[in-house]
Structure 1
Amino acid sequence: MSEDNKLHQAIGPGQMAFYAAGSMLGAGIYGLIGQAAGLSGNAIWLSFMVALVAALLTGLSYASLGSRYPKAGGTAYILERAFKSPRTGFVVGLMLLASATIGIPTLSLVFARNLSDMFGISDSLIPAIAIVYLLALGGIIFRGIRESVWVNTACCIIEATGLLIVIATGISFWGSVDYMEAPPVASPALGLDPLVIAVMSSTVLTFFAFVGFEDTLNLAEECRDPQRTLPRGIIAAMAIVAVLYICVAITAVSVVPWQDLADSKSPLTDVIRVAAPHIPPKLFSTIALFSITNTVLVNYVTASRLLYGMAHQGLLPRILGEVHIGRRTPHIAVFVLFVMFLPAAIFGTISQLATAATLLLLTVFILMNVSLVILQKRKGEAKGKFEVPAAVPMGGAVVCVILIIAR
């Protein structure tokens, strides 16, 4: 590959950590707290700890795979290599692209809807706002990976600030409740402690608060020293996000009874309303816009690199792997994705696609964990600078199977 057709290597460990954390910190956490509290009561913090361990197994597998095979379009490349089947990489790559083609414009409509609600804009303009929004983000991505990471970092800081405000205003309430209190269970299965049942049922939800680390794999070719940058970024991001989530969970049930959180449409807004009534509720509506923007930006970048990587593997037309000489970004892939987003942004409606997306993601996680086991056992495969025992990906695969069954 010529230098002119290579992506710009501009991402260091710190930037990668922000990128991964920004991908994990989404608007979903603002509603997830209430649902999880309804299942685990005051023990919601314990649910996040168990979810961290469960997610970390797959996160470490991705860190090891990224260290071994730093390729854009990493998922498709690794699956093709592990199963020695271009068809496997192609099919899973298309599944991920299909998910992005539906999910990204859907989130753009959510952004447009929230913006119109905040400023009283006519509903008829929502599709137009969504298109302009996607065009603006596409422009940032075309401009360069450095600019995309800057925007990602800014959004990540704003998202984290919202959670830190919740913690800061409610920390004086800490210690006011029993943090091992769980909802009563009528007939405990297999004689298990009700606390164990509550935490495990809630973990099925809280696990997905840590999803997003997988997006880093597609930026491997834009990292400086990717064999070290990817693992460090993923692990640092998961640690940062875990601390935030656990502290927010403790704060939420300390300020507002878990029963009320479970019934709330905006649980963290209710926490602020009780702990710091002087803070305007619109603050969190604004933060939600940045959360959505970060999610769309990260997914858009990831999808464009997946197209680029699959084109270089010969799984898609080569033109999708072209890199702009001046900007060193996959401009054709970025533009093609924008065109693909338009129908859903113009004619679509805001709908809940989480179940299908969740099953797809868990299936990919299982395949990636199995791929690492296969590649570790195969003679002649290159070693990375971050290796994990085979028990890690095996455990990650088992956890994902359990989550699919539990759902």
Structure 2
Amino acid sequence: MTRELRRTLGVFDAVVIGLGAMIGAGIFVALAPAARAAGSGPLLLAGLALAAVVAYCNATASARLAALYPASGGTYVYGRERLGPFWGYLAGWGFVVGKTASCAAMALTVGAYLWPEYAHAVAVGAVVLLTAVNYAGVQKSAWLTRAIVAVVLVVLVGVVVVCLGAAGPSAGSGAGPGGSAGGVLQAAGLLFFAFAGYARLATLGEEVRDPARTIPRAIPLALGIALVVYACVAVAALSVLGAGELASSPAPLADAVRAAGAGGLAPVVRAGAAVAALGSLLALILGVSRTTLAMARDGHLPRGLAAVHPRFQVPHRAELAVGAVVAVVAAVGDVRGAIGFSSFGVLAYYAVANASAWTLGARGRAPAAVGLVGCVGLAFALPAASVAAGAGVLALGAAAYGWRRRAGSR
């Protein structure tokens, strides 16, 4: 049975998959808690800029490493090859656990927007549907992601045009409860959740054509497009709601179009949020299953999960396992707190990526250092509950690694 995946993705598809992961439900749900942490419009935008700087440094590190190690697994592979097996394992563990929680959160977001009374059932159905799409091959996933990204971009452009065309408070008015440097850091950590999708390009490295050329081009391009979209949406929402109302809104973009006098567009925005969550979920399942494949190849997860389907050329057992776990969590879980928990795990993942990039030589060490310091700083600036849960999960993974090593030596 083959263990290799088929290289079918070019630059355009790679950028689209990255955008599908980034321009997803994050922008619909992360603005409110970030505004609450920042405390004012200018500080929220400062947090967005800080998150973008850290994300850019991480993207630069990931692009360099992905070109050198074009295999499934992303930072799990980079950490293993550059820093040693433990650091690779810790990155992979943080990614799989944190992003599995994100998958459940995105599935529940779909349910909450489409049919709130049966949110859990809709969430499970969404997981089953998208797992089936991924099972049929990564090219099918790329085609569906194209459609999702197009729909979401149209909705977001509509939000920006409607809000900026309406009179309202300035971006600096309506201050919330925060307003400190710590608040900016926490806002940046929460907004990083919305940027983290470019990792999908690295974890799909084994399915990209000419990865040494494609990945370094696709990652910064996808990140740049996402930053422009996020900045426009944030300014537009602040222009009609102000930071105070934005911070307290359960559905900020829907409330923004209502405040702009276009309440008829609110159902469209809700539908766009559901589609965006589907896009994020699709890309998340892709990324988690590929990291699961890489860890299974090395024996950190059951080796049976490393199987590749002979026809569809996908890690079908890993995808089914990830889909099953996410469906169970979505059936009984709660979306609250998932953003902070996921951000902590992903920031730990990228800290390992930046440390790995540091070992590549003097060229590129400055962004790697900024990225490493930024990841650590933003991770510990998150809400205390998120830090405690994330650190506990990493400690549990480290303990499991140590136990397995001792058992193997005996």
Q: TM-score range by the shorter chain?
A: 0.7 to 0.9
1:141 corresponds, among 130, 134, 139, to 134
Q: Measured at CA, do residues 84 and 263 of structure 1 come closer, stay the same or move farther in structure 2, by a change above 3 Å?
A: closer
Match of 1:153 in 2: 146
Q: How does the TM-score come out when normalised to structure 2? A: 0.83
- Partners of 2:105 and 2:165 in 1: CA distance: 39
Q: Measured at CA, do residues 101 and 237 of structure 1 come closer, stay the same or move farther in structure 2, by a change above 3 Å?
A: closer
Q: Deviations over 1:11-33 (max 9, x none)?
A: 11111111112211232322433
Match of 1:405 in 2: 380
SS class of match (1:8) = coil
Match of 1:376 in 2: 361
Q: 1:325-336, aligned counterparts within 5 Å? A: 325-336=310-321
- Partners of 2:324 and 2:356 in 1: CA distance: 33
Match of 1:74 in 2: 74
Q: 1:263-278, aligned counterparts within 5 Å? A: 263-277=248-262
Q: 1:15-164, aligned counterparts within 5 Å? A: 15-38=13-36, 39-43=38-42, 44-85=44-85, 87-117=86-116, 123=118, 127-164=120-157
SS class of match (2:7) = coil
Match of 1:191 in 2: none
Q: Measured at CA, do residues 103 and 53 of structure 1 come closer, stay the same or move farther in structure 2, by a change above 3 Å?
A: closer
- Partners of 1:373 and 1:354 in 2: CA distance: 28
The CA RMSD over aligned residues, in Å, is 2.9
Q: Report which stretch shifted further, 353-362 or 74-83.
A: 353-362
Whether the 8 Å CA contact 1:82–1:371 is kept in 2: the answer is: yes
Q: Measured at CA, do residues 208 and 139 of structure 1 come closer, stay the same or move farther in structure 2, by a change above 3 Å?
A: closer
What stretches of structure 1 of length at least 5 have no aligned partner? 187-193, 378-387
- Partners of 1:34 and 1:105 in 2: CA distance: 20
Structure 1 residue 314: Cα displacement: 4.5
The one-letter code of the counterpart of 1:130 is A
SS class of match (1:209) = helix
SS class of match (2:53) = helix
Q: Does 1:282 align with 2:267?
A: yes
- Partners of 1:11 and 1:404 in 2: CA distance: 32
The one-letter code of the counterpart of 2:380 is I
Match of 1:380 in 2: none
Q: 1:292-311, aligned counterparts within 5 Å? A: 292-311=277-296
Q: Measured at CA, do residues 75 and 171 of structure 1 come closer, stay the same or move farther in structure 2, by a change above 3 Å?
A: same
Structure 1 residue 67: Cα displacement: 1.3
Q: Does 1:6 align with 2:19?
A: no
Whether the 8 Å CA contact 2:174–2:244 is kept in 1: the answer is: no
- Partners of 1:261 and 1:350 in 2: CA distance: 19
Instruction: Give the total of aligned pairs.
Output: 380
What stretches of structure 2 of length at least 5 have no aligned partner? 383-410
The one-letter code of the counterpart of 1:25 is I
Structure 1 residue 373: Cα displacement: 0.9
Match of 1:238 in 2: 223
The one-letter code of the counterpart of 2:103 is I
Structure 1 residue 298: Cα displacement: 0.9
Asked which structure has the greater CA Rg, the reply is 1
Q: Measured at CA, do residues 184 and 103 of structure 1 come closer, stay the same or move farther in structure 2, by a change above 3 Å?
A: closer
Match of 2:366 in 1: 391
Match of 1:381 in 2: none
Match of 2:163 in 1: 170
| Structure 1 runs, 4 residues or longer, greater than 6 Å off | 194-198
Whether the 8 Å CA contact 2:174–2:242 is kept in 1: the answer is: no
The one-letter code of the counterpart of 1:311 is A
